[in-house]
């Protein structure tokens, strides 16, 4: 048993860190967040060149064929860099859904351009009444046409096609198809844009059944938890740096325990988030019996921790932490959007309860 | 990243499991309700049996009677011990903290003299660190040792000594150079507790028990060969003991926490809250799920820490996050139990209405000590701030 990174995993992480620092520094993040879609074609081409857009997809489709353990490391670094644009939506969300529910022909058709860096995508999940629960979707296909409204869909304006989770299947929709109306939502996170998507007798291609959706959403959720851990890590680093240099009462404020202990808690929460996200990825990769619980544990913990780490980071940086020019609020905004995406801590606690309190009772009886 | 047990780890687990099946006592549940004084010979006998099977100190090197177990194997050991609800070992400080310190810093003669009897529970060890005026600021301790020919003469007072009442030997931190800076004038002595001038008094804690003692030393003569490590290098010796304490306890405690949360979940299915099982109360469900998740994260943090220790060779200051995590989680878990049981939560062992014979009311009180013993949460956070994050020292 070994819970450290392998040599090749360490290499992947270090390379990703260098790549994002060079290709997407904070100045670039700030430039992109002011654009309409936060998507940059040149940056995307470089992501594809690194193999990042195809990292977990099969070599049959031009991917790199790595595992979820590698995906979370990459997402962690993307989160640390606050990478704007549709990377998460395409690679950690739409790709795994297509991979899980599509036919071999569809996978070839839709995953290959993702791997090659030629296409972007996203998944429309959230509905007003159903939230993140796939068993309650109301959008449905009648005679192959979709009607209804999805909300909080990420990066739609940068997507070449949109995967739509409906009550009777998972479908693929061309954003230019008839009846599709897309409108931006104004979310806190400026780096990952949100949209509403309305469909009215919109023609759609069926990818597969809803049954395959849960596993793919678990992959996206674990990847998001890792991305959140990366954001926490960066917030911690900025905060510690500030506490070392900012002086009050003639001393660095980091020498005061009230400040230092906030930083220690940030460290504890960041490390714990990382442990939970890595384990969720490993459990998914191994199809461990506790994989779903592990994903919920990771998202539950990171949902609360990414907020508290941000709270502490802003507090420690005082007036500076409250300014627009300080980057900490950009991470804080992302953390809030991520907190509720795919279910917040309360949602996942209930999911854990169903799996270990309710289902646990049955397993106990059978044992 | 591979969290499957390796073939060797499976072999280790299976061998232990078979041994425990044949040797673990069946009557511990009757003994555990008795006082520690009454059950101590029982615990001593159990440790002797473990030692005969070479299971008393699996982490120790083979040449000293251990199995050279990896950290994962140590975690497996505690997991299996918890699975059969095995009793604790009598000499837990000797095995967990002081033995490893002697192996790391002791002379060959000291290892030969002390190690076998630590393993067999023939000699019980206690740890003389804290003093009335040196708790978190341990390095300011005042118990003094003055060299007189081939003996040290020890005078002073120690407090919060676990196993003091039954200890045959003590790892004692003393000041040997009062003129040096506080960290530079300390030494560690191994003291025979039957020496003239040693007095042990019970210290009654808020649970009503006396786990701890006060110890008084008046002109106690300690032969120089019982100096552990170099003279005036005692801080380093003591810190290595504390690192073992902070680094390894998580692995030991996790199975117990797991059992506690499983028991709470089991109770929630029958314990009524507002006319229905607590497991159907949305708020109770949330709180149980939170605890369940945190117990799992405690395990995962521990496994990641193991990988770091394996890579660097020694437990480091990161062990402090484990100490904070388990101690505060244990308190939260007891609080959830209290909320679930309502007025029944307060009932003590002797009350016939008490839940699980009072283990939860006891746990509620006892866990207040968790964030104080083995380094307060405040000290742990300062250690992280300074030694892990590189912030200026705050004390």
Contacts of A347 in chain B (CB under 8 A): none
Q: Identify the active-site residue in B80, B245, B294, B318.
A: B245
Interface touch A4/B378, C-beta < 8 Å:
no
| CB nearest to B389's CB, from A240, A256, A294 | A240
CA separation for the pair A237, A21 (Å, rounded)? 14
| CB nearest to B391's CB, from A254, A272, A278 | A254
Q: Which residues pair with B188 in a beta bridge?
A: B173, B228
| CB nearest to B5's CB, from A1, A244, A364 | A1
pLDDT given for residue B247 in this prediction: 59
Chain A contact present for B380, CB below 8 A:
yes
Interface touch A263/B391, C-beta < 8 Å:
yes
CA separation for the pair A102, A205 (Å, rounded)? 10
The radius of gyration of chain B's CA atoms, rounded to the nearest angstrom, is 22
Chain A contact present for B306, CB below 8 A:
yes
pLDDT given for residue B315 in this prediction: 66
pLDDT given for residue B210 in this prediction: 85
CA separation for the pair A176, B274 (Å, rounded)? 54
Contacts of A323 (CB under 8 A, 6+ apart): none
CA separation for the pair B119, B66 (Å, rounded)? 9
Identify the CA nearest to A131 among candidates A150, A115, A112.
A150
Q: Which residues pair with B128 in a beta bridge?
A: B172
Please indicate whether residue B294 is annotated as part of the active site.
Answer: no
Provide the whole-model pTM.
0.94
ipTM, 2 dp = 0.95
Contact present, B123 and B190 (Cβ < 8 Å): no
Q: Is the pLDDT reported for residue A88 higher than 90? A: yes
DSSP state of B134: B
Residue spans of chain B under pLDDT 70: 245-248, 314-316
Is A279 exposed, middle or buried, given 0-12, 13-18 or 19+ CB atoms closer than 10 A? buried
Contacts of A353 in chain B (CB under 8 A): 285-286, 288-289
Express each pLDDT in A219-252 by its tens digit. 999 999 999 999 999 999 999 999 999 999 999 9
3-state secondary structure of A145: strand
Express each pLDDT in A247-294 by its tens digit. 999 999 999 999 999 999 999 999 999 999 999 999 999 999 999 999
Chain A contact present for B394, CB below 8 A:
yes
The CB density around residue A260, as the number of other CB atoms within 10 Å, is 26
CA separation for the pair B355, B358 (Å, rounded)? 6
Q: How far is CA B375 from CA B81, B98, B171, B297, B378, in A?
A: 26, 17, 17, 22, 8
Contacts of A263 in chain B (CB under 8 A): 384-385, 389, 391
Q: pLDDT class for A309, splitting at 50, 70, 90?
A: very high
Q: Over chain A, what is the mean pLDDT? A: 96
The interaxial angle of helices A213-245 and A257-285, nearest 10 deg, is 160
Contacts of A9 in chain B (CB under 8 A): 1
Express each pLDDT in A154-181 by its tens digit. 999 999 999 999 999 999 999 999 999 9
Chain A contact present for B336, CB below 8 A:
no
Chain A contact present for B312, CB below 8 A:
no
3-state secondary structure of B201: strand
- Pinpoint the alpha helices (H) of chain A: 7-23, 26-33, 41-49, 68-80, 87, 95-101, 104-115, 213-245, 257-285, 291-316, 318-321, 328-340, 345-353, 359-366
Express each pLDDT in A1-46 by its tens digit. 888 899 999 999 999 999 999 999 999 999 999 999 999 999 999 9
Output the six-digit token pair for B347.
């009932």
Interface touch B300/A251, C-beta < 8 Å:
no
Mean pLDDT of all residues in A287-304: 97
Chain A contact present for B385, CB below 8 A:
yes
Output the six-digit token pair for B5.
């047990």
Identify the CA nearest to A299 among candidates A72, A78, A13.
A72
Identify the CA nearest to A77 among candidates A234, A219, A304.
A234
Mutate to test the interface with A, among B297, B336, B387 (most CBs of A within 10 A): B297
Interface touch B304/A357, C-beta < 8 Å:
no
Q: pLDDT class for A366, splitting at 50, 70, 90?
A: very low
Q: pLDDT class for A362, splitting at 50, 70, 90?
A: very low
pLDDT given for residue B36 in this prediction: 85
* Sheet architecture: strand order including A145-154: A140-142, A145-154, A194-203, A181-185
Q: In what helix (H) or strand (E) does residue A121 lie, and over which residues does it extend?
A: strand A121-124
| CB nearest to A349's CB, from B5, B286, B303 | B286
Question: Of all residues in chain B, what percent carry a pLDDT higher than 90?
Answer: 82
Interface touch A272/B301, C-beta < 8 Å:
yes
Q: pLDDT class for A367, splitting at 50, 70, 90?
A: very low
pLDDT given for residue B248 in this prediction: 66
The CB density around residue B264, as the number of other CB atoms within 10 Å, is 26
pLDDT given for residue B362 in this prediction: 96
Express each pLDDT in A97-147 by its tens digit. 999 999 999 999 999 999 999 999 999 999 988 788 888 899 999 999 999
Q: How far is CA A58 from CA A51, A95, A160, A224, A343, in A?
A: 12, 11, 21, 21, 29
Chain A contact present for B379, CB below 8 A:
no
């Amino acid at each position: 048993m070994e819970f450290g990174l392998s040599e090749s995993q360490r290499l992947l992480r270090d390379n990703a860190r260098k790549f994002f620092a060079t290709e997407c520094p904070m100045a670039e993040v700030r430039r992109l967040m002011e654009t309409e879609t936060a998507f940059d074609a040149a940056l995307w081409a470089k992501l594809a060149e690194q193999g990042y857009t195809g990292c977990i997809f099969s070599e049959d489709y031009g991917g790199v064929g790595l595992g979820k353990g590698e995906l979370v490391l990459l997402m962690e670094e993307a989160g640390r860099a606050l990478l704007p644009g549709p990377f998460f939506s395409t690679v950690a969300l739409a790709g795994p859904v297509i991979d899980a529910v599509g036919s071999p022909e569809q996978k070839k058709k839709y995953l290959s351009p993702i791997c090659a860096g030629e296409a972007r995508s996203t998944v429309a999940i959230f509905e007003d009444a159903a939230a993140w629960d796939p068993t309650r979707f109301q959008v449905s296909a009648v005679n192959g046409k979709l009607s209804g409204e999805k909300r909080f869909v990420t990066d739609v304006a940068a997507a070449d096609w949109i995967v739509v989770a409906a009550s009777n299947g998972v479908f693929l929709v061309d954003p230019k198809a008839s009846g599709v109306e897309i409108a931006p939502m104004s979310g806190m996170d400026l780096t990952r844009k949100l949209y509403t998507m309305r469909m009215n007798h919109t023609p759609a291609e069926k990818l597969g059944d809803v049954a395959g959706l849960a596993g793919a959403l678990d992959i996206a959720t674990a990847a998001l938890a890792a991305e959140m851990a990366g954001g926490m890590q960066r917030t911690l680093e900025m905060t510690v740096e500030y506490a070392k240099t900012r002086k009050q009462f003639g001393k660095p404020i980091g020498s005061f325990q009230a400040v230092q202990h906030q930083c220690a808690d940030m460290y504890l929460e960041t490390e714990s988030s990382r442990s939970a996200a890595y384990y969720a990825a490993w459990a998914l990769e191994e199809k461990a019996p506790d994989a779903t619980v592990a994903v919920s544990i990771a998202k539950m913990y990171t949902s609360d921790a990414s907020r508290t780490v941000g709270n502490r980071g802003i507090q420690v940086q005082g007036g500076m932490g409250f300014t627009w020019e300080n980057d900490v609020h950009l991470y804080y905004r992302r953390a809030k959007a991520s907190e509720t995406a795919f279910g917040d801590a309360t949602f996942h606690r209930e999911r854990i309860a169903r799996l270990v309190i309710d289902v646990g009772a049955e397993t106990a009886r059978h044992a | 990243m591979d969290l499957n047990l390796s073939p060797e780890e499976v072999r280790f687990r299976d061998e232990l499991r078979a041994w425990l099946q044949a040797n673990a006592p069946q009557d511990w549940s009757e003994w555990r309700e008795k006082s520690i004084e009454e059950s101590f010979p029982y615990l001593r006998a159990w440790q002797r049996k473990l030692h005969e099977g070479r299971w008393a100190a699996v982490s120790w090197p083979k040449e000293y009677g251990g199995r050279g177990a990896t950290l994962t194997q140590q975690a497996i050991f505690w997991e299996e011990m918890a699975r059969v609800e095995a009793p604790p070992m009598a000499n837990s400080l000797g095995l967990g903290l002081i033995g490893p310190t002697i192996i790391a810093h002791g002379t060959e003669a000291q290892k030969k003299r002390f190690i076998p009897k630590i393993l067999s529970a023939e000699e019980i060890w206690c740890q003389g660190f804290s003093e009335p005026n040196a708790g978190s600021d341990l390095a300011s301790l005042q118990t003094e040792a003055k060299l007189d020919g081939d003996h040290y003469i020890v005078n002073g007072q120690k407090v919060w000594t676990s196993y003091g009442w039954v200890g045959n030997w003590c790892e004692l931190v003393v000041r040997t150079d009062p003129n040096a800076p506080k960290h530079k004038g300390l030494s560690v002595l191994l003291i025979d507790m039957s020496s003239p001038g040693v007095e042990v008094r019970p210290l009654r804690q808020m649970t009503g028990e006396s786990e701890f003692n006060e110890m008084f030393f008046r002109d106690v003569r300690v032969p120089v060969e019982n100096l552990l490590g170099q003279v005036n290098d005692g801080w380093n010796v003591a810190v290595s003991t504390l690192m073992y304490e902070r680094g390894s306890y998580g692995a030991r405690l996790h199975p117990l926490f797991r059992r506690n949360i499983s028991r709470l979940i089991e109770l929630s299915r029958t314990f009524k809250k507002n006319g229905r099982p607590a497991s159907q109360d949305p708020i109770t469900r949330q709180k149980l799920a939170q605890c369940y998740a945190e117990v799992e994260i405690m395990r995962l943090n521990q496994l990641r820490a193991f990988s770091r220790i394996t890579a660097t060779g020694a437990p480091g200051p990161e062990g402090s996050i484990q100490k904070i995590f388990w101690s505060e989680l244990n308190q939260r878990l007891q609080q959830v139990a209290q909320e679930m049981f309502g007025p029944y939560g307060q009932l003590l062992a002797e009350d016939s209405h008490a839940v699980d014979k009072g283990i939860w009311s006891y746990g509620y009180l006892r866990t207040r000590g968790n964030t104080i013993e083995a380094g307060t949460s405040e000290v742990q956070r300062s250690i992280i701030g300074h030694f892990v994050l590189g912030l200026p020292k705050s004390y």
